[in-house]
Amino acid sequence: MTVKPRILLVCDSRENAEQLLARAAESHEVVVAASPVRALAYLTREQFAGVYVSSEYVQQALQVGNLLRNDQILDGMPDGVVLLDSDNSIIWCNSRMSEWSQSPSAIGANFYSVLGSPEILGPDFCPFHTALATGTATSSTLRSGENRYFHVHAAPLREVGSPPRHLIVSVRDVTSEVHQQQKMAAIHQAGMELADLSPSEITHMAVQDRIELLKSNILHFTHDLLHFDVVEIRLLDSKTGRLEPLLEMGMDPEAAARVLYAQPQNNGVTGFVAATGKSYLCEDTSEDPLYLQGVQGGKSSLTVPLLMHEAVIGTFNVESPEPRAFTESDLQFLEIFCRDVAAALNTLELLAAEKVSTAAESVEAIHSAVALPVDVILNDAVSVMERYIGHEPEVVERLLRILRNARDIKQVIQKVGQKMAPTEALPPTMQVEERPLLRGRRILVADADENVRIAAHNLLERYGCVVETAHDGAEALYMVRRLTDGEYDVLIADIRLPDMSGYEFLLKLQEIMESPPLVLMTGFGWDPGHSIVKARQAGVQSVLYKPFRLDQLLGAIEQTVNTPRPVAQR
């Protein structure tokens, strides 16, 4: 049986085709395509001896011809290109789309089934229907199996005298971009969760416990999200420039303990990053002069500064046994993560400062409330003791116990305060300058003004002084006379005490001890009986003029402590 050659006829109906090719139909098999687009579908799948195009479709046929001529170009594109009809069937596609197809042949198949019936993520949830209905291009994102993402752009194919019935759809694989965005969002979320603790958790956790939790979270997210196995974080000591280790995972012990400073030379990549504030990607450690070995067999590293308000507060370093293991994307991800790490560390520092300052303020408030009443107990006890000396030894002994207990109360408060809020942990606004000459010095302040006595406690005890006060000269002399465990290192007295002048107080002190370590206080221009002149002639070296600054008070005490004097004779 002879097989007739096939002719493809592009016209609007079978009747017209038979009229136009009545003779040809006897010797040829005629296949009718209702449009040039349908003709393209036939030509893609089958072989024809010739193509006849009705005059009304000449213009569209030229467009289809152009598409066929550009077929090789379209096949070379990284994106998929598809010609769809109104029921989403694929009339034609390039080779890229065929590669993505999950069907043996994409031609004639439903577009969505070819991609494994993906989920439409929007923004347009019916992109092909919208494009045909409105005659304008639209786009959307699809998520298929194996977590692959495609971006589709559908444009209607214009047809003369009728609404569009076909679409040109471009399909782009955006899996890597979406995964990168998801990873970036996950990293940022992880960073937000680093130090995210509820008020109840903060209340019941010590600062060190929060720091340990932060360390654990950093290592968890670094390993599970960023997939880094060798990690080191160092914090910058702004005073010394030293990079102190905070945490490490997988580092050699010698490298983890290495002393590094924020300097661009001789301190490895970490020191360079801390000094410059710039990230550093070391692709091959064997060729990088800055690199110092962090782990045995390390071939590449990535180091990022921890920045807070554009200032470097530390460094974050990761290493790999593979050369060129890190990419620019890894660098970007780590920089994002490090911003949140820096913020979390800063939050913990603020929490620690808040806790320390609260503790310090609480201790100071308790001490302020107790200091003067304890002084009253001391004053009353020594006053009563003066009367019973030589008469009632048992009463004197009990009074001595009261004195010791009262002084112990103040010592306990001070020790508790130092334990709750150590000086090195105080925020800068509450820290005091270290003055070794003052620590442990016993000081007696005699002044009728209660504000002066309170200020003496508050100011001097911050520097480690042991302060006691008296209302007048007699009380002060009792305190000096009945101090059984040593003597006062410095005595500070107002030049006008309620019961005597400063000079008279000095004379009475000289009856108890040689060269009394006395500092006198006076207002400007007021010196009854020329007490200052007489006191200076008697050996007093330091005089404070009210109102005086704290540094003047501290300087006067240090000067007095430094002045050699003979041991007091009792």
Predicted local confidence at residue 47, as pLDDT? 65
Q: How far apart are CA 360 and CA 186, in angstroms?
A: 40
pLDDT confidence bin for 10, thresholds 50/70/90: low
Neighbouring C-beta atoms of residue 185, cutoff 10 Å: 11
What DSSP designation does 496 have?
B
Q: Using CB atoms within 10 A of its CB, is residue 328 exposed (0-12), middle (13-18) or buried (19+)?
A: exposed
Residue 74 pLDDT > 60: no
Predicted local confidence at residue 364, as pLDDT? 59
For residues 261 and 271, is the Cβ–Cβ distance under 8 A?
Answer: yes
CATH assignment, 71-173 = 3.30.450.20
Query: 6-69: what fold?
Result: Rossmann fold (3.40.50)
Residue 518: C-alpha distances to residues 106, 182, 438, 443, 562 (Å)? 104, 73, 15, 10, 13
Predicted local confidence at residue 444, as pLDDT? 93
Q: How far apart are CA 562 and CA 216, in angstroms?
A: 51
Q: What is the DSSP string of 373-422?
A: HHHHHHHHHHHHHHHHTTT-HHHHHHHHHHHHHHHHHHHHHHHHHHHHS-
Predicted local confidence at residue 91, as pLDDT? 80
Predicted local confidence at residue 338, as pLDDT? 79
Residue 32 in 3-state DSSP? strand
What DSSP designation does 106 have?
-
Residue 517 pLDDT > 60: yes
For residues 445 and 471, is the Cβ–Cβ distance under 8 A?
Answer: no
- Give domain 361-562's CATH architecture: 3-Layer(aba) Sandwich (3.40)
Q: How many residues does the chain have?
A: 570
To the question of pTM greater than 0.75 for the whole model, the response is no
Q: Where in the chain is the domain with CATH 3.40.50.2300?
A: 361-562
Percent of the chain having pLDDT more than 90? Answer: 14
- Of residues 53 and 511, more confidence is placed in 511
Q: Name, of 82-86, 183-187, 297-301, the range with top average pLDDT.
A: 297-301
Residue 39 pLDDT > 70: no
Predicted local confidence at residue 426, as pLDDT? 41
Q: Where in the chain is the domain with CATH 3.30.450.20?
A: 71-173
Q: Which residues pair with 140 in a beta bridge?
A: 123, 152
Q: For residue 233, which of 220, 251, 221, 213 has the smallest C-alpha distance? A: 251
Lowest mean pLDDT among 209-218, 311-320, 474-483, 546-555: 209-218
pLDDT tens per residue, range 410-461: 666 666 555 544 444 444 444 457 788 888 899 999 999 888 888 888 888 8
Distance of CA 498 to the CA centre of its chain: 59
Residue 134 in 3-state DSSP? helix
